[in-house]
């Protein structure tokens, strides 16, 4: 067993917990399921009436290849699709841009225009599935392409369900797939809130993400503190744009990681709900209960998967998924056991989905709501994480705002220090990683990973050349000029953006138009 006796967040874990460890005013801290402060879950019945949404994150190579994988997942029983995009798409570049060379279709699907989006969702009933798109800086662009394809298939915006990640602030902290400086990026987020309220009312306009910060090394307390602090910044940006809190807050959603430290993860999710409910009610004056509900998607911890003895990852993912469910997640993606090596094979993706199905249909997890409520250890840890996260949020606020703290490098430094500590613990053996620094084997079994066709880049370039030759380029230029004028002024940019995409402007052309107005962010920039 591990020699560690402290939590991932840094507080000591006792060998035995008793009633003396329960926080004061426990009834007020808990509430009933579906009632403020939502510690016990955002819905009264949680999984007793229906299980969480089972998503599988997929996307690689071409739109046609990804479409085939989506159909496989739907046949296997998945309830929602989660789309992975390649790096050029994430950064707003077309596949034939020189900067995209070598990255096309590598870590997700390449989407250059409405034609790719048509292929990606060919034969999929967009009024019946929930689609989550992991896209940030150009999130509005991909949402509009999705809406245009839905309209072509007779599906109105009001029938669409899903989420765009659209969380640009965490990109400056952890991932780096930003395009524009923070201020215009926040304007684009607020414009998306306003657009979706009118045009795509059931869409979740943002998935405020702690996942990527956790993958970069953030502790559970840091993960929820920095995520909720970013959430506060988005609320302020929307209010500054003239939106009423109860008009947009019900469509906010969050995205967290689930680690193998099951008890602390359950406590983390419960603490996050409690903090957000009080923030929205007390600081922002929300009246609609839905504005106070922290609804979240969870993905199991990719950073904890190992290339050594990859089958052991099946066990890790099952434990991580169990923590997410016990913590009250609204949807869940379980990683495939081979993701530390390459893109998941079809078999591995199916096994990941089966993991969720076993949890939902073979255990008694769906029989009762919040089974850990009142547990000495869980309630004590929930209070510990709540206190630690609140203190970190106050330190962010001391900088003026989350953006000011990002500019000062606060969140990034805190996460890097945690990541360094974790690396040291693994190297020393203090933190046990089965198959890596303990219980290793002399010779690994052979594994054949899924490989991406290297000719994809050339094929995408040919498709783009054909598109530009066949479309009405004058119409595209007029539409992009309208987009440029909106970006230079105060109008909502999503309306002219949609018309440019309808005219078959490319993702790179749309993002390039905004770059010309708003500029491109560099880490050394001041704003």
| 126-181: pLDDT as tens digits | 999 999 999 999 999 999 999 999 999 999 999 999 999 999 999 999 989 999 99
Q: Average pLDDT in the 19-26 region?
A: 95
What's the average model confidence in pLDDT over 325-331?
A: 97
To the nearest 10 degrees (0 to 180), the angle between helices 507-518 and 494-502 is: 150
- pLDDT number for residue 442: 84
Q: Which of 283, 271, 288 is nearest to 225 (CA)?
A: 271
Q: Where are the extended beta strands (E) located within 139-241?
A: 161-164, 203-204, 206-209
- Give the angle subtended at the CA of 35 by the CAs of 332 and 45, to the nearest 5°: 50
Q: How far apart are CA 404 and CA 365, in angstroms?
A: 42
Per-residue pLDDT band for 451 (boundaries 50, 70, 90) equals low
Listed in sequence order, the residues at least 6 apart from 69 whose beta carbon sits closer than 8 Å to its beta carbon are 58, 59, 60, 346, 349
Model pLDDT, residue 527: 42
pTM surpassing 0.85? Answer: yes
Split at pLDDT 50, 70, 90, the class of 489 is very high
Q: Alpha-carbon distance 84 to 405, whole Å?
A: 29
- Interatomic CA distance for residues 55 and 48, integer angstroms: 19
**pLDDT category of residue 80 using cuts at 50, 70 and 90:** confident
pLDDT digits (tens, 9 = 90+) for 250-302: 999 999 999 999 999 999 999 999 999 999 999 999 999 999 999 999 999 99
- 3-class DSSP assignment, residue 37: coil
């Amino acid at each position: 067993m591990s020699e560690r006796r402290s939590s991932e967040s840094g507080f000591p874990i006792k060998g035995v917990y008793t009633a003396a460890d329960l926080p004061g005013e426990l009834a007020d801290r808990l509430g009933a399921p579906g009632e403020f402060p939502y510690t016990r879950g955002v819905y009264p019945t949680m999984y007793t009436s229906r299980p969480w949404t089972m998503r599988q994150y997929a996307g690689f190579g071409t739109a046609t290849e990804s479409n085939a994988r989506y159909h496989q997942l739907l046949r296997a029983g998945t309830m929602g699709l989660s789309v992975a995009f390649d790096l050029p798409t994430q950064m707003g570049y077309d596949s034939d841009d020189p900067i995209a060379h070598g990255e096309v279709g590598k870590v997700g699907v390449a989407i250059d225009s409405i034609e790719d989006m048509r292929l990606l969702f060919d034969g999929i009933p967009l009024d019946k599935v929930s689609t989550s798109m992991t896209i940030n800086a150009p999130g509005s662009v991909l949402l509009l392409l999705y809406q245009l394809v839905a309209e072509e298939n007779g599906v109105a915006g009001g029938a669409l369900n899903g989420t765009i990640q659209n969380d640009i602030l965490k990109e400056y902290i952890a991932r780096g797939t930003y395009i524009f400086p923070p201020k215009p990026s926040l304007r684009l987020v607020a414009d998306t809130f306003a657009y979706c309220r009118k045009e795509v009312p059931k869409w979740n306009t943002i998935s405020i993400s702690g996942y990527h910060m956790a993958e970069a090394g953030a502790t559970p307390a840091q993960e929820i503190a920095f995520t909720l602090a970013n959430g506060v910044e988005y609320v302020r940006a929307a209010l500054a744009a003239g939106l009423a809190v109860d008009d947009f807050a019900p469509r906010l959603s969050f995205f967290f990681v689930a680690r193998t430290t099951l008890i602390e993860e359950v406590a983390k999710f419960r603490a996050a709900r409690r903090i957000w409910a009080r923030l929205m009610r007390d600081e922002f004056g929300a009246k609609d209960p839905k504005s106070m509900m922290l609804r979240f998607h969870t993905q199991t911890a990719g950073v904890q998967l190992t290339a050594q003895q990859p089958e052991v990852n099946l066990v890790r993912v099952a434990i991580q998924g169990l923590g997410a469910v016990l913590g009250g997640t609204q949807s869940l993606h379980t990683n495939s056991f081979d993701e530390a090596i390459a893109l998941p094979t079809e078999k591995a993706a199916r096994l990941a989905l089966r993991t969720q199905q076993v949890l939902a249909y073979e255990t008694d997890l769906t029989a009762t709501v919040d089974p850990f409520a009142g547990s000495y250890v869980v309630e004590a840890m929930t209070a510990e994480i709540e206190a630690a996260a609140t203190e970190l949020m106050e330190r962010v606020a001391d900088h003026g705002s989350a953006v000011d703290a990002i500019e000062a490098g606060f969140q990034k430094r805190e996460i890097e220090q945690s990541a360094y500590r974790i690396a040291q613990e693994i190297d020393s053996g203090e933190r046990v990683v089965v198959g890596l620094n303990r219980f290793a084997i002399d010779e690994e079994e052979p594994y054949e990973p899924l490989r991406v066709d290297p000719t994809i880049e050339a094929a995408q370039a040919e498709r783009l050349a054909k598109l530009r030759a066949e479309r009405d380029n004058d119409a595209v230029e007029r539409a992009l000029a309208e987009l440029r004028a909106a970006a230079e002024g105060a109008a909502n940019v999503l309306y002219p953006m949609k018309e440019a995409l309808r005219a078959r402007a490319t993702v790179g052309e749309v993002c390039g138009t905004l770059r010309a107005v708003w500029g491109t962010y560099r880490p050394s920039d001041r704003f």
